[in-house]
Each structure stands twice: as structure tokens, then as C-alpha cells.
Structure 1
Amino acid sequence: MSAGAARRERLWRRLAGPQNRNLWFWVFVGPFVLGLIVFTYVPLGWSVYLSFFDAHNTVSPSDFVGFDNYTSMLRNDAFTDSLWTFVVFTAFIVPTTFVLSLSLALMVNRMRRAQAFLRSVFFLPAACSYVVAALIWKMSIFNGVRFGLANTVLGWFGADQTAWLSTTDPPWYWLVIVTVRLWLQAGFYMILFLAGLQRISPTLYEAAAVDGARPGWQVLRHITLPQLRTTSVAVTLLLVINAFQAFDEFYNLLSDARGYPPYARPPLVYLYYTALGQGQNLGLGSAGAVLLALVIAVVTIGQARWFGLGRKAD
């Protein structure tokens, strides 16, 4: 065997690893990595590239404008209003989902029978499409006519019909948006809390009972919640990030043949109409997407620092 062939064989053995483990790793992981690069990282990089150009109706622009798209987006009242819509949505959805999912987890964890059944029942909505759930809420439950379930129930008590999605004073549309998101995601976060609860050692509760701790709020406050700190931080971070990415329920609940109303327009809905609407300003929409990504990163890092993630325990 020649020296060149021997070197190639040694290189191949080094790359393939013992018993071809490296080779099989890339056989299984390679397609997913390729898909991640092609369908995620390349579009992200191209979006950043477009944000520095005047890209009207084109994805291959040539007119470089620098940071003009960013300054225009920051001075745009509609974009800043969409960020405030996110703040309102987050103020509703994060604490309600946190409390509901934790309550469900505590209830299921105390069950001695049918625990697996209840866990599956509460988690099942997480597998439902956001589009399908939004249409069910819009067409069946909170339909603005007398055939809707909510108006039918209110009619039993003599209440007037309510146009849930078009009434802005009071803003009943928030009830529809928050309830559909609660139904969809509470079961998923319940599973996270349930996993955290099952990692708590029973000896802690036994020691608390010996010390005279009363079951209920006292045990929950001084034992359960401190032991769930890591899970609670993770759930809060995920809830805030998911609230930033809200699109499907807003768009499918509030849009109609006339378009999208001027109220309750989160950032992704506004950027959708900016980039793919009448003007198709892809440069301005890309700049807004980059700004939104930066806001998400800053908020996430701020939350992590606030909760002390990565800090060494005393």
C-alpha cells in the first residue's frame, strides 16, 4: 500500500471513529442539521441582509440604505403600538398560564388513581393546531351571533348578545385570545411542573410534618415552590418567548375578508402585513424582525439575570 493510500485510510478511520460511530452519527443527524441550516439559518442570515437594503417586491435588492430601515421602524407608531400589544398580552397570558398549569400539576400529582389518564387529557390540547383551535373559538364558542356557545349561555340569564371579537369598549377580544391560548398551552406546562414535582423527595414533606408544618399553603410556600424554582424559571422564560411569537391565534381570530382590525395587532402580525402586504417592503419587514429578535434576546437575558440563572449556589 502506498504512503498516500495509507494516509487516506488513517484519515478515514479517524473521521469514522471506532466501529464507524462518527459515521453513523452523521447519517442520522446530518439530514436534520442540513434542514436546520437551509430552512432556518440561511433565511435568518438573508433577513438580516435584506434589512440593510431598500427591498420592495424583491429578495435580491441592490439599493443599500444602511440603518434607514431600522430608524424608520423605530419611529413607526404602528410598530411601537404592536410592542405594547405584546406587553398587554404577556401581562394576561404569562401569570394565568403559570397559575393554571401549576394548579393542574398539583392536582394531578395528588391523584392516586387515573393519574396517567388525567395527564393525557390535560396535555391533549397541546397537540391541537393553533389555527384549528382559533377557528373553533371564533366560529363556535365566541361567535358574535346568537348561535355562539358563549352568547347562548348568556342568553339563558337574559344578557344581550356580545360581539366578542369586534367590541373594543370593553375589549372583550382579549377574553377570546387569552382563553384559546390557555387551553392550548396549559397542559404542556403542566407536564413540566409535574416532572418537577415528582423530583421532590418525599422525605422533605415527612420532615415538615414532623416539625408541625400544616399541609396546604404552608407546605406549598416553604417546600414545594422553592423546590420548583428551576422549573418555574424555565416555564416563565418559555411563556414570555412564546408570547412574543404569537401570530396564529391573533390572525385567525381577528382577521376577516376586510383585513385585520387596527387593534390587538402583535409584532408578528404587523410585520406580516409590512413584508407581505400591499407594499411588500421586505427590507422594512426584515428590519422589524431583527429588532423583535433583539428585544426577545434582551428580555430573555434580563429575565435570566433576574432569576440568577448560571449563578453559583452559595
Structure 2
Amino acid sequence: MRRRGALWFWVFVGPFALGLALFTYVPLLWSVALSFFDARNTVTPTDFVGPANYTAVLGDDGFTDSLRTFLVFTAFIVPVTYVFSLSLALMVNRVRRARAFFRSVFFLPAACSYVVAALIWKMSLFSGVRFGLANTVLGWFGEDPVAWLATPDPPWYWLVIVTVRLWLQTGFYMILFLAGLQRIDPVLYEAAAVDGARPGWTVLRHITLPQLRATSVAVLLLLVVGAFQAFDEFYNLLSDARGYPPYARPPLVYLYYTALGQGQNLGFGSAGAVILALVVAVVTAGQARWLKPGRTDGDG
């Protein structure tokens, strides 16, 4: 029986483990190996250059600019998504009828492709011509059309990028907050009402948010990691037949053009990817340690 159990374990787990190894771990290890070679237009290089690629990446203005783009994007998207998703979760949790309907409606955008959503935002909502929805609304008030994605000063493209990401991911994090809200013991709210606590901000601050601390930490970690991985919306919103503009290049877009662009410097791009992965790991670990997921305000 024990042998049969082990056999069925590998029947079900084996294909997944094999696919994970072939398509995740092997490419990851090969990318680390490429970062120590002069790999131009080839994935089987022979010229070992040691840490030269890492030195070149860290000294490259394009890479440091991409990290600044990430910081700006994170400063916008993380707090806004957190507030919107928590607000939606609080509202849906208070609904007594058709809760499943509202939960499904708000979650539905999470099932949409980032590419499709970016093209809708680019061609229909924020088109640079006067027929885009945003420019049509501006026209009602006598304002001139705005080239939302083609004007770096003022940087209106941030409005487009942040709103499309916000629409896509708010529903997903709302579900996480809903799960956290449903785990809170109603007795806490009843005790607060008996003690005279006012419903609203007081209850939210002293009961709801402390009880949601673990969920909040998980949401913030996922938001920061997701911001590091931003690619689809930037690439599909800002690139055109002429290529990608010199502004608003997040790290993955920069590395994409470095490794797969005209030069195809795979060693340089792999070194940048390793550095980016290390940055993500350090930021995630530091954030988790600072926020302390298992702790609430009532702990000593």
C-alpha cells in the first residue's frame, strides 16, 4: 500500500515537477550562468568575463533609470490599490443581499488579459486623438485633446498606466481582504459597541485593521513584487511602430530590449535580471521583517 501510494504521488506530482524544473529552474540557473559570459547573439557562449557584466549593468544609466521608474510606479500603484481594494472589501462585506454578485463583478477584471486591457486603454479610453473617451469628455468642457501617452511633460502617461493596473488587480486583492474580514470574530465588534466605540473610523482603526495585519502584509508584498514585474501594460501602452520611448521604462522592459533587442546582449541582460531578482528578494524580506505579518497592535 505504501508503494502504491508513492507511485500515485509521482503520477500526479511528477508532470508538474518536471515542467517546473524544465521551464523555471533550468532557465533560471542558465540565466545565472550566462551572466558571467560574453553572450551576444548566443545562449551557448564560451568567453568567460566574470563579474564584468554586473559592473556594466550597475554603471549603466538606463538600468538605474529603470529602477527609478519602478520606484515612481510603486509609489503610485501600491497605496492606491491597497486603499481601493480594502474599501471595496469593506463595502461588499456589509452587503446583505447579492453579495456573491458584487464580489464576482468586482473580481471579473482580474480575469482579463493585461495585453487586452492595455490596448483598450490605449485605443479607446486614452487615445491621443479627439475620438478617445477621455478627450471626448474634455471636449465637452472646451478643452483641447491631450496626447496622453506621447507627452513626457507633463507625464500624463502615468495616469493611463496606473488606472489600467488598478482596474485589473483591485478585484483580486479585494477577495483577499474579504477572506480576512470574514475571519474576524463578530464578538469584537459587539464588545466595541458595548464600550461605546463609534462605528466607522474608530472601529476600523482599532479593530479591523489590526485584525487584518497578516492579510495586509501579504497584499503589500504581492503589490511590490507585482510592481517589479510590470511589463505588459508598459510595453503595450507606450511602444509603437517606432519602438519604445526613452521615458517610463521599468526594469523588465529595459532588460527585454537589452537582451532581445538589436544587440541581443544576453550576458548583460542576464546580469541585470539576477540583480533585479536580488533586489526583489531583499525588498520583500525587508518589508516582511518590518511589517511583521503575525503581529497585531495588541501584541506586546
> Normalization by structure 1: what TM-score?
0.93
- From 53, 74, 79, the equivalent of 1:90 is 74
Q: Does 1:274 align with 2:258?
A: yes
Alignment length (residue pairs):
298
* Alpha-carbon distance in 2 for matches of 1:237, 1:108: 23
* Alpha-carbon distance in 1 for matches of 2:242, 2:81: 32
Q: What does 1:147-166 correspond to in 2, within 5 Å?
A: 147-166=131-150
Counterpart of 1:85 in 2: which secondary structure?
A: helix
Q: Does 1:145 align with 2:129?
A: yes
Match of residue 74 from structure 1: 58
Match of residue 32 from structure 2: 48
Q: Does 1:126 align with 2:110?
A: yes
Q: What does 1:1-314 correspond to in 2, within 5 Å?
A: 16=3, 20-309=4-293, 314=300
* Bigger radius of gyration among the two: 1
* Alpha-carbon distance in 2 for matches of 1:188, 1:166: 30
- Offset from partner CA, 1:232-258 (integer Å, 9 cap, x none): 000000000000000000000000000
* Alpha-carbon distance in 1 for matches of 2:210, 2:295: 16
Contact 2:88 2:174 in 1 (8 A): yes
Quote the RMSD (CA, aligned, Å): 1.2
- Offset from partner CA, 1:241-286 (integer Å, 9 cap, x none): 0000000000000000000000000000000000000100000000
For structure 2, the residue ranges without an aligned partner over 5 or more in a row are none
* Alpha-carbon distance in 1 for matches of 2:89, 2:143: 35
* Alpha-carbon distance in 2 for matches of 1:260, 1:175: 18
The residue type equivalent to 2:135 in the other structure is N
- Divergent runs of 4+, >6 A: 310-313
Question: How far did 1:24 drift?
Answer: 1.2
Contact 2:213 2:294 in 1 (8 A): no
Q: Percent identity?
A: 82
Question: How far did 1:310 drift?
Answer: 6.5
> Normalization by structure 2: what TM-score?
0.97
* Alpha-carbon distance in 2 for matches of 1:271, 1:48: 14
Counterpart of 2:44 in 1: which secondary structure?
A: coil
